[in-house]
């Protein structure tokens, strides 16, 4: 029942704090936040060593799928990003450009959002590989808890009734009307499942495929992903989709109640709407 319907029926909505997130879920969530941030920033550092993507087993420098580069102009340089043959002017934020002194500097992503914040492929790889293991181990702990405790089935898997109501849920979200229920809504559940079961395994699998040592031990990885360059491109696309998910996730946290959402991930307590009779007489009836 919505708040409006409750008011028409003489029922006043109220809020109740429920225990929504266990300590295991909260701890692994915040470790993931840190690990993903470092992986993203160090990954851009690694990408900047060769800011182009290809499909297949080898690099085709004349025909990249995506490339961040530069062009000379009459008064200096401009950044250019090319996507499947279409070129975009991205001066100042992607591709090459000039520094504060007007000297040319080449990069894919700006150094200000990479880790480290200067050109160092070796350091970027150290950060990336270390936090990749942090992310994998943390993810395995979360999955073990999720299946053992019933969290995966109970809180993340939508049932038939929820799937039938997905159209209504989309409309309500588009109108910024959010049902603060005890559990996740169907759109949250589906998005989490896509990230957990599709994007993150793709990130892990393609990351392993880019390692020559792993390819030597498990050559079938190259066959699965269509070559090392295809694996690198899929890795990049998966990372971009995870970044998109994070932006949408943060946006929804902001518009649906910042404190309520943050409290649930810090203390586990989440305020849900319930309904109670508006007058004592109605309670007796």
Q: In sequence order, what are the beta bridge partners of 269?
A: 19
pLDDT reported for residue 281: 38
pLDDT reported for residue 234: 96
Using CA atoms, how far apart are residues 162 and 143, in angstroms rounded to an integer? 23
Using CA atoms, how far apart are residues 13 and 254, in angstroms rounded to an integer? 22
pLDDT reported for residue 98: 62
Using CA atoms, how far apart are residues 149 and 144, in angstroms rounded to an integer? 8
CB contact set of 211 (below 8 Å; sequence gap of 6+): none
- E strand or H helix at 5, and its extent? helix 3-8
pLDDT reported for residue 101: 63
Residue 240's CB is within 10 A of a number of other CB atoms, namely 12
Unique residue bearing structure tokens 């920033």 = 41
What is the full per-residue pLDDT of the chain (285 aa) written as tens digits?
444 444 445 555 577 888 888 899 999 999 999 999 999 999 999 999 999 999 988 888 788 999 998 887 777 778 899 999 899 999 878 887 666 666 667 779 988 899 998 889 999 999 999 999 999 999 999 999 999 999 898 889 998 888 998 998 888 888 888 776 667 889 999 999 999 999 999 999 999 999 988 988 999 999 999 999 999 999 999 999 999 999 999 998 898 888 988 999 999 888 887 654 444 433 333
Are 162 and 186 in contact by the 8 Å Cβ rule? The answer is yes
Q: Which domains does the chain have, with CATH numbers?
A: 3-49+111-284 (1.20.950.20), 52-108 (no CATH)
Using CA atoms, how far apart are residues 96 and 108, in angstroms rounded to an integer? 7
Using CA atoms, how far apart are residues 51 and 256, in angstroms rounded to an integer? 37
CB contact set of 24 (below 8 Å; sequence gap of 6+): 141, 142, 145, 149
Tally the residues of the chain.
285
pLDDT reported for residue 237: 95
């Amino acid at each position: 029942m919505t708040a409006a319907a409750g008011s028409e029926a003489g029922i006043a909505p109220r809020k109740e704090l429920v225990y929504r997130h266990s300590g295991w879920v909260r701890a692994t969530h915040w470790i993931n936040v840190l690990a993903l941030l470092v992986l993203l920033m160090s990954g851009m550092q690694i990408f900047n060593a060769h800011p182009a993507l290809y499909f297949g087993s080898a690099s085709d420098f004349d025909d990249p799928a995506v490339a961040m580069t530069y062009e000379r102009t009459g008064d200096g340089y401009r950044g250019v990003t090319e996507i499947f043959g279409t070129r975009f002017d991205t001066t100042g934020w992607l591709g090459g450009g000039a520094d504060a002194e007007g000297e040319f500097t080449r990069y894919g992503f700006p150094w200000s959002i990479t880790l480290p914040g200067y050109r160092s492929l070796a350091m970027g790889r150290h950060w990336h590989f270390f936090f990749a293991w942090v992310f994998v181990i943390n993810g395995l702990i979360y999955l073990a808890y999720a299946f053992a405790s019933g969290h995966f089935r109970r809180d993340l898997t939508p049932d038939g009734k929820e799937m039938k109501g997905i159209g209504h849920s989309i409309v309500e979200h588009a109108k910024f009307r959010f049902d603060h229920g005890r559990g996740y809504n169907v759109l949250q559940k589906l998005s989490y499942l896509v990230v957990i079961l599709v994007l993150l395994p793709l990130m892990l699998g393609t990351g392993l495929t880019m390692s020559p040592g792993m390819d030597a031990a498990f050559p079938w990885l190259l066959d699965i992903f269509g070559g090392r360059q295809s694996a690198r491109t899929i890795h990049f696309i998966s990372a971009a989709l995870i970044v998109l998910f994070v932006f949408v996730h943060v946006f929804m946290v902001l518009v649906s109640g910042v404190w309520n959402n943050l409290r649930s991930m810090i203390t586990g307590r989440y305020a849900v709407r319930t309904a109670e009779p508006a007058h004592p007489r109605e309670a007796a009836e």
